[in-house]
Amino acid sequence: MSGPLLQIDGLRKNFGSRRILDIEHLALNSGESNVVTGDNGCGKTTLLRIIAGLENAEITSYRFQGQPLSLEHFPPRLRHEIIYVHQHPYLFNTTIAANIGYGLKTRNLRKSERERLVNEAMEWAGVAHLIYVPPQKLSGGEKQRVALARAKVLNPKLFLLDEPTANLDAEARRHTIELIQQMCLDDNCVLIACHDYELINLPRMRRMILSDCRLAPQAPTAIRRQVV
Amino acid sequence: MELLEPTREAFRLLFSGDAELWRIIFISLRVSLIAMLVVTPFAVVTGFFLATVPFPGRRPLVILIQGLLSSPTVVVGLLLYLLLSRSGPFGSWHLLFTQEAMIIGQVIIAFPVMVAFTLSAVQGADPRAHETALSLGAGTTRAALTTLLEVRFGVMASVFNAFGRVFSEIGCSLMVGGNILGLTRNIPTAIALETSKGEFAQGIALGIVLMSAALGVNYALAFLQGEGGLK
């Protein structure tokens, strides 16, 4: 496929009279890892939510794999291609396996196939030993790993990860970064919103800064000054 | 008043399989359970819709529904009587003094109770539940069902409350059912009648059944509810 996976032009978002985003152009490519950083409240989460079709915005053009799309009528098939993971992931009040298999169920996969993929994803995320633990009893790091497994098992074209290491202790953060590193190595496109210097500095990471409603490419040193 | 003898007689009536008594119990359960089966899907969908879809006039509508929670069942019965009586607009349906009329009345009584409780449960749901379902590829209907499943504790509470209200109501059943033995006499109307005649044994027996059936049905529903929401 030629051209970017996702291309957005003329994106504007206001909350009341306050402008949050004013982005002229954003293109994300397959196999590319991207990180957006910026001050708290600068609109990183809003940007991810708009791309995921969870939030509306004024937009001149939204193209996915070259196809022009409307945010107001976000096509259901795109939900299978773009997965958004909340900063504090929500786990359904059921089993961990059912949580990870939820998206597969919406894709009408056979039960045996679903079980195989769920088991693989649980092994990948290192949560297989937690299979009988109710999701509400998991720690923040474990919840984050289950949420990453739930996203990865769907093999989407674009992962949107919102502050995946925020509020995690050192061990949980290390685990989560390892998983994200693996996601970045695959042929997926990953867009992460975060302040985590280690994540920002992952190899082959394309770095951007959201500041004054605008998105700009940044060198790692500039990000270090902004983040640290 | 002597209570021991009528209570002993009540248990004798219950365990001797008194046909008349058990017919009354059967009618009561049949009418209320059918009413709940009819009202539940409509009320849950309405409650979910009111909680999640903004539209002009939503607020006054919610206030109206919450106001209807305290509507006296006898007033519902009176209005339904006027509609179903021979000179009323639906008189040609010949529903007055039938179980169907009682079911309609109980549906009307249960509807605002279930809508208000479902609305409250869905409003209290974590918005990330719906977003997560959507983001994982669920369609609108599946995402809505997932949200309802997440707040099943609250939704089932709406079923408990509505069942409790219709199973024990007397005003509407008396007005549109007519308290006809073997046809429309249910537990509450029978208790009122027997007590007025001084037949305390049957009144007590029916009271025991009313309480036991209400508890039994609630336990069955609680089983369906699971542990969701309990910390």
For residue range A49-104, list pLDDT tens digits in order. 999 999 999 999 999 999 998 888 888 888 889 999 999 999 999 999 999 999 99
Q: Is the ipTM of this complex over 0.90?
A: no
Asked, for residue A33, whether it belongs to a domain, the answer is yes
Q: Is residue B135 part of a domain?
A: yes
Interatomic CA distance for residues B94 and B214, integer angstroms: 31
Per-residue model confidence (pLDDT) at position B228? 52
Can you give the pLDDT at residue A96? Answer: 95
Q: Specify if A1 maps to a domain.
A: no
Asked if residue B8 is part of any domain, the answer here is no
Domain that includes residue A80, residue range: 6-227
Quick one: pLDDT at residue B204?
A: 85
Q: Which residue type does A38 have?
A: G
Neighbours of B161 (CB within 10 A): 16
Strand partners, A209: A37, A216
Domain membership of residue B10 (yes or no) is no
Q: Is the pLDDT of residue B209 over 90?
A: no
pLDDT digits (tens, 9 = 90+) for A33-51: 999 999 888 999 999 999 9
Q: Do the Cβ atoms of A79 and B138 come within 8 Å?
A: yes
Of A84, A93, A107, the CB nearest to B135: A84
Specify the amino acid at residue B6.
P
Residue type, A225: R
Asked whether residue B130 is domain-assigned, the answer is yes
Q: Residue A5 is which amino acid?
A: L
Range of the domain at B181: 20-225
Q: At A93, which CATH number?
A: 3.40.50.300
In a domain, B168, yes or no: yes
pTM: 0.84
Q: What share of chain A is helix, strand, coil (3-state, %, to 5)?
A: 40, 25, 35
CB-hemisphere CA count at 13 Å for A114?
16
Q: What is the pLDDT of residues B77-126, one digit of tens each?
A: 999 999 999 999 999 999 999 999 999 999 999 999 999 999 999 999 99
Q: Which of B136, B146, B153 to mutate to test the interface with A (most CBs of A within 10 A)?
A: B136
| Count of domains observed in chain B | 1
Q: Residue A228: pLDDT band by 50, 70, 90 thresholds? A: very low
Give the span between the Cα atoms of B184 and B187, in whole angstroms. 10
Across chain B, the runs of DSSP E, i.e. the strands, are: none
Residues of B in contact with A82 (CB under 8 A): 135
Enumerate the β-bridge partners of residue A206.
A34
The answer to whether residue B6 sits within a structural domain is no
Domain assignment present for B159: yes
pLDDT score, position A76: 80
The CA-atom distances, in angstroms, between B139 and each of A79, A105, B132, B144, B145 are 9, 12, 11, 8, 10
Angstrom distance (rounded) from CA A94 to CA B19: 46
The reply to whether B142 touches chain A by the CB within 8 Å rule is: yes
Which strands make up the sheet holding A6-15, listed edge to edge? Answer: A18-28, A6-15, A58-64, A67-69
Tell me the pLDDT band of B48, cut-offs 50, 70 and 90: very high
Hey, are the CB atoms on B136 and A79 less than 8 Å from each other?
yes
d(CA A144, CA A80): 20
Distance of residue B155 Cα from the nearest chain A Cα, in angstroms:
15
Q: Check which CATH number belongs to the domain holding B150 and give it.
A: 1.10.3720.10
> What's the structural domain count of chain A?
1
Contact at CB, B137 and A84, closer than 8 angstroms: no
Residue B202 lies in a domain: yes
